[in-house]
Amino acid sequence: MKSIAIFGAVALVASSASAQTSHSSWRGYSVTRVINSAGNTQYRVFANYAVSNITFLNAFDHGKVSASQPAQYGTMNAIHTGLGEFSWIPQGTASASHVSNDSWVTSTGTHVGSQTALDPSFIETDADGNPIASALAQPPLHAGWYDATPGTANSVGAGSQGGHDGQNAVGGYQILLMQIIRQGDDSTNGLGKARFNLTSGFKIANTTTALFGFGSYVIGVPAPGAVALLALAGLAARRRRG
């Protein structure tokens, strides 16, 4: 079963992110989507950068975009599977066979050997220590996570993962931040789309100044009915122009 302990006293990079201006090396989030071997929808969220000499620090202020967003931007509906693993901490997944079919966050870019810890804002249990269903299905508002071994640098690696819903990896360097599993094929089961804000803290290698990247990512695909309505709207618009 996944541990929910907060590891050690780590200086979190969050409160100093006062101005919502991303650093010039920040290139936003990208998302991949596949149907895994269990028949569930697997999303992976990556932070992207323009340069390679970046060290990732933490992720925080996770939350759904404001109510001003269109109605289809709803809830995450994440699931957690295998051996009673009811947590977002990756290193607690008890069986390697469940890694690709469990929802987790990471500050090290990987599930294996990760020493990710959750911020106090990332509450997962009630007063009796029981998992809170809403916190499992979707990280709490303003949730964050960080490396429990801050002395070990988490350098961003080369790569260009992305492409879901137009969220392409536009930088040549990135780090994996989240894996989200949704039950079944979410293109056909009506789970719909969801958009979330997320802030990333990082620094240039061999420096001590915290930098920030602000943005959002999208999971899900339009429901078949919504796609049909969009197609009809496009057809009507073309007829009017004709």
The H or E element spanning position 217 is strand 211-219
User: Which of 106, 59, 70, 73 shows the shortest CA–CA distance to 215?
Assistant: 59
As a residue count, the chain comes to: 242
pLDDT score of 22: 86
Give the pLDDT band of residue 21 (cuts 50, 70, 90). Answer: confident
- CA pair distance 186, 192, nearest whole angstrom: 7
- pTM beyond cutoff 0.85: no
Q: Find the DSSP H helices in the chain.
A: 133-137, 224-241
Q: Is the per-residue pLDDT at 11 higher than 50? A: no
**In the predicted model, what is the mean pLDDT of residues 55-81?**
77
Locus of tokens 């079944």: 184
- The number of CA neighbours under 13 Å toward the Cβ of 191 is 23
Q: 123-127, 163-167, 179-183, 191-195 — which one is most confidently predicted on average?
A: 179-183
